A = this chain, B = another copy of it.
């Protein structure tokens, strides 16, 4: 008997190379707000999303790509030289449909490229707006899974860990889980799944972003299945 595949939670990109991710699925998680925005833009009909790790690359790729939009924020403000921000609310269907989104994020893009460089066979992105799509995919694939939290400048954060916990709670019967990070994440999610909007007000990220008036955005980012698609990385872009 082959047994169930393994599932691990990696709470910071710094911890990725402790694990052997070859031939595995890595779920990149950046709840506030990159992977919430990615799910939303794809749900609303964007053609593809090119994640890049630097502003100059974002501008160059934007110029070279027809019908594209450049986007990125630092500290809650649109980066100079780019057109749009990181808010999922900026990407309704009547704006984004059929376009290519070139998105610069620091934490999430770094983790995505690390996962590919370390031999992951598949990289998908997850956040609460596409929780069920992620869980259904993982249960279907029967492969080892690493839930990769993008964290904040490598520091562990609650919101990404909380999403990992939501996934663990949903898929746990289908995996072998010898991983304290997964147990802790699932416990935290179980304790707070019914008070998410108040719980996220305790996070350090909330205190950083709430001063920019992004409370509604952050609440959206922890709302389940409102953009329930599966972003998967293929040939340099996230598509569904």
Q: Which residues of A contact B (CB under 8 A)?
A: 11-12, 14-15, 18, 153-158, 161, 178-181, 183-184, 187-188, 191, 202-205, 207
In the bound complex, how far is the Cα of B13 from the Cα of A12, in angstroms?
Answer: 12
Q: A15-B155, A179-B204, A183-B203 are in contact. List 10 more A-B contacts (CB 8 A).
A: A12-B14, A155-B180, A155-B181, A156-B181, A158-B180, A158-B183, A158-B184, A180-B205, A183-B202, A191-B191
Assess the A156–B191 pair: CB atoms within 8 A. Answer: no
Query: Cα distance A150–B18 when bound, in Å?
Result: 15
Q: Is the interface of A mostly helix, strand, loop or mixed?
A: helix
A-B contact pairs, 30 of them (CB 8 A): A11-B11, A11-B156, A12-B14, A12-B15, A14-B14, A14-B18, A15-B154, A15-B155, A15-B156, A18-B153, A18-B154, A18-B155, A155-B179, A155-B180, A155-B181, A156-B180, A156-B181, A156-B184, A161-B180, A161-B184, A178-B204, A178-B207, A180-B204, A183-B202, A183-B203, A184-B184, A184-B188, A187-B191, A188-B188, A191-B191
- Chain B residues lying within 8 Å of A155, measured Cβ to Cβ, are 15, 18, 179-181
Instruction: Tell me which residues across on chain B come within 8 A of A207, comparing CB atoms.
Output: 178
Output the residue of A15, A154, A178 with the most chain B CB within 10 A: A15
CB distance from A192 to the nearest CB of B (A): 9
A163 CB to closest chain B CB (Å) equals 13
Bound together, the chains give a CA A179 to CA B158 distance in angstroms of 9
Distance, CA A203 to CA B207, complexed state (A): 32
Complex CA–CA separation, A184 to B199 (angstroms): 11
Which residues does chain B contribute within 8 Å of A153, judged by CB atoms? 18
